[in-house]
């Protein structure tokens, strides 16, 4: 029995798409089809209906038992690696703008100090993209700026934060929303967790993002801060980012919006028994300076 074929079958039932499963596993769509056909041949029965990609009665049994087999195999790998007393392998990590710049580096440094034989591949995306890639198993762990609403994903709170309205260092004081309606603003993209929280905070403050004048839309918090520092406009950023920039007089903090936000580590339940991920999550729970 080939566990990779069972994994492929489970992914196909979950995602209902040969092309999506091919992308996740980095194989061609015909390759996915061949694995399913080979599994069916080994078991001597059809496992799914090709028109709907719903499992047959036998397919439901294989789906359920297959998950159990994969779990048992992961636990076996974990116990065998324990004999070596060290973790190895590649950990694919994705993070949105704020975590990737201000939170994750510290966490990864602590983890790699204890497990130097682990290889980390860190990529930066918007929060929604990180969620999509964790769900599709293209990432082992993700860090995002809001509690995930996606079913089937697990999450751990890693940091709490506030949102601040910032302007150039020579900005004048403001009293309310009416004072900024005519200011040029630097926006973040719609999929940004920071900007989703900013929209909520602005409403609580008595205004609306839609009433602001957008000068530019950028993908990273550091780009926002640099543009504000140069005098191009104003913006709303994380307290974690703003305090650091304000310390060096790069920007001026004008007010705190009446909204708070949280950052989470997210991962697939299929990955929760991976030895490196177990150790990673344990470290987060032991020592976290951002909570």
What pLDDT shows up at residue 174? Answer: 92
Going along the chain from its start, the domains and CATH numbers come out as 3-83 (1.10.10.10), 86-152+265-286 (3.40.190.10), 160-263 (3.40.190.10)
pLDDT at 225 over 80: yes
Residue 37 CB contacts under 8 Å (≥ 6 apart), including other chains: none
pLDDT, one tens digit per residue, over 8-22 is 999 999 999 999 999
155 Rama sector, left if φ>0, alpha if ψ -120 to 50, beta otherwise: beta
What pLDDT shows up at residue 78? Answer: 67
Q: What's the whole-number mean pLDDT along residues 53-69?
A: 92
pLDDT, one tens digit per residue, over 211-220 is 999 999 998 8
What pLDDT shows up at residue 289? Answer: 61
What pLDDT shows up at residue 291? Answer: 56
User: What's the pTM value of the predicted model, to 2 decimals?
Assistant: 0.68
Name the more confident of 171 and 90. 171
pLDDT, one tens digit per residue, over 172-213 is 999 899 999 999 999 998 888 889 899 999 999 999 999 999
**In the predicted model, what is the mean pLDDT of the chain?**
89
pLDDT, one tens digit per residue, over 124-169 is 998 889 999 998 888 999 999 888 887 788 898 988 899 999 999 9
What pLDDT shows up at residue 205? Answer: 92
């Amino acid at each position: 029995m080939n566990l990779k074929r069972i994994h492929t079958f489970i992914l196909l039932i979950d995602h209902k798409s040969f092309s999506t499963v091919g992308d996740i596993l980095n194989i061609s769509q015909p390759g996915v089809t061949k694995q399913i056909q080979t599994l069916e041949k080994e078991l001597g029965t059809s496992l799914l209906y090709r028109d709907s990609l719903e499992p047959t009665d036998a397919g439901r049994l294989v789906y359920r038992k297959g998950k159990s087999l994969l779990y048992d195999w992961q636990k076996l790998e974990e116990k065998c690696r324990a004999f070596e007393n060290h973790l190895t392998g590649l950990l694919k990590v994705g993070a949105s703008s704020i975590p990737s710049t201000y939170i994750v580096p510290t966490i990864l440094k602590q983890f790699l100090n204890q497990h130097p034989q682990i290889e980390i591949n860190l990529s930066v995306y918007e929060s929604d993209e990180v969620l999509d890639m964790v769900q599709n198993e293209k990432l082992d762990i993700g860090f995002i700026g809001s509690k995930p609403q996606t079913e089937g994903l697990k999450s751990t709170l890693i940091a709490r934060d506030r949102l601040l309205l910032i302007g150039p260092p020579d900005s004048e004081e403001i009293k309310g929303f009416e004072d900024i309606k005519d200011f040029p603003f630097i926006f973040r993209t719609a999929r940004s967790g920071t900007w989703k929280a900013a929209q909520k905070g602005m409403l609580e403050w008595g205004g609306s993002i839609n009433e602001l004048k957008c000068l530019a839309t950028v993908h990273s918090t550091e780009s926002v801060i640099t543009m504000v520092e140069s005098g191009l406009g104003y913006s709303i950023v994380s307290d974690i980012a703003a305090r650091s920039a304000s310390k060096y007089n790069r920007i001026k903090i004008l007010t705190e919006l009446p909204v708070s936000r949280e950052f989470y580590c997210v991962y697939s339940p299929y990955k929760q028994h991976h030895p490196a991920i177990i150790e990673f999550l344990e470290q987060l729970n032991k020592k976290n300076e951002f909570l």
